[in-house]
């Protein structure tokens, strides 16, 4: 049962919050539902979860059409500029902004749809060549530039830590993210609301909470392993 998975995750979130002396309310759990059918989302939704994460524009769009309850949809995957127009009025928050060009496109489409789009700046904290995200040295400058866009509201930072064997090995990256977050926050850039630090996934969310994450993105621990290639549907177990 997915409910049991969710309860187990909740317990771990709560324990990590207690270890860190933080309130449970200071951490938002985003259920990452990518590749999973809407029936599974609804099961989790019925347990009270309102935040869902998707990494593909098309998949997010079709799910927002099928599930009409008011949920907060987080776009957590790489976003191509030509797809911004499809999600700018559907996403509660875009976690993956890493260039001025992308932000400019979001500005253009958000203005057209008369919305203000909340975004996080994705940071490539491990300096990995294959990863999206801005190098940490460039994050502040990027935010200063995006701050000028009236329909794009920077709300904080996001990262995907490099894959590690032991979650403890990710701690240093999360510490660096927290430090970067605090430095940029202290700048008090007009128009920027540094409130969210999106970091931590199934393998490392407890360490991320201990290091200050305000949003964790958990897929596998809630929905089970993803099967790529084979399309999943409600009637395949």
Ligand X SMILES: *Cc1c(COP(=O)(O)O)cnc(C)c1O
Binding mask 7-26 for ligand X (x = CB under 6 A): --------------------
Number of residues interacting with ligand X: please give it, by CB under 6 A: 13
Those residues with Cβ within 8 angstroms of residue 88's Cβ, 6 or more apart along the chain or in another chain: 106, 109, 110, 113, 115, 117
Find out whether 110 and 88 touch, Cβ atoms under 8 Å: yes
Other CB atoms within a 10 A radius of the CB of residue 230 amount to 8
| Under rule CB under 6 A, residue 220 binds ligand X | yes
Find out whether 218 and 28 touch, Cβ atoms under 8 Å: no
Considering only residues 62 through 91, tell me which ones interact with ligand X, judged by CB under 6 A.
Answer: 76-77
| Under rule CB under 6 A, residue 201 binds ligand X | yes
Considering only the C-alpha atoms of the chain, give the largest distance between any 2 of them, rounded to a whole number of Å: 52
Which letter does DSSP use for residue 148 in this model? T
Please say which residue, 33 or 149, places its beta carbon nearer to ligand X. Answer: 33
Binding mask 143-182 for ligand X (x = CB under 6 A): -----------------x----------------------
Position among 13, 32, 84, 208 found at the interface with ligand X (CB under 6 A): 32
Please say which residue, 155 or 217, places its beta carbon nearer to ligand X. Answer: 217
Please say which residue, 98 or 149, places its beta carbon nearer to ligand X. Answer: 98
> Considering the complex, what minimum distance in angstroms separates the CB of residue 226 from ligand X?
7
| Stretch of 8-16, 65-73, 180-188, 212-220 lying at the interface with ligand X (CB under 6 A) | 212-220
Q: How far apart are CA 168 and CA 206, in angstroms?
A: 10
Find out whether 209 and 17 touch, Cβ atoms under 8 Å: yes
Closest residue to ligand X, judged by C-beta, is: 219
> Considering the complex, what minimum distance in angstroms separates the CB of residue 101 from ligand X?
20
Find out whether 11 and 5 touch, Cβ atoms under 8 Å: no
| Under rule CB under 6 A, residue 34 binds ligand X | yes
Other CB atoms within a 10 A radius of the CB of residue 101 amount to 9
Please say which residue, 88 or 218, places its beta carbon nearer to ligand X. Answer: 218
> Considering the complex, what minimum distance in angstroms separates the CB of residue 187 from ligand X?
26
Q: How far is CA 125 from CA 6, 23, 64, 164, 181, in A?
A: 28, 26, 31, 13, 12
Residue 154, SS3? Answer: strand
Cα 204 to its chain centre, rounded Å, is 14
Interface ranges with ligand X (CB under 6 A): 32, 34, 55, 76-77, 160, 201-203, 217-220
């Amino acid at each position: 049962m997915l409910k049991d998975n969710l309860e187990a995750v909740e317990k771990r979130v709560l324990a990590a919050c207690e270890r860190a002396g933080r309130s449970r309310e200071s951490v938002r759990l985003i259920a990452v539902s990518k590749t999973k059918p809407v029936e599974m989302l609804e099961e989790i939704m019925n347990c009270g979860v309102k935040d869902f994460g998707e990494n593909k524009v098309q998949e997010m769009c079709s799910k927002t059409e099928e599930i009409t309850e008011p949920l907060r949809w987080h776009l957590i995957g790489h976003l191509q500029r030509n797809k911004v127009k499809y999600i700018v009025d559907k996403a509660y928050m875009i976690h993956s902004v890493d260039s001025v060009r992308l932000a400019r496109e979001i500005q253009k489409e958000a203005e057209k749809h008369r919305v203000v789009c909340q975004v996080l700046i994705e940071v490539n904290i491990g300096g990995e060549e294959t990863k999206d995200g801005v190098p940490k040295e460039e994050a502040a400058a990027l935010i200063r530039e995006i701050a000028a866009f009236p329909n794009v509201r920077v709300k904080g930072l996001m990262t995907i830590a490099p894959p590690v064997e032991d979650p403890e090995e990710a701690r240093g990256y999360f510490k660096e993210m927290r430090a970067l977050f605090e430095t940029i926050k202290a700048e008090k850039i007009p128009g920027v609301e540094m409130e969210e630090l999106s970091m931590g996934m199934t393998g490392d969310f407890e360490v991320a909470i201990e290091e200050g994450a305000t949003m964790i993105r958990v897929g596998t621990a809630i929905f089970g392993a993803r099967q790529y290639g084979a399309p999943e549907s409600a009637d395949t177990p």
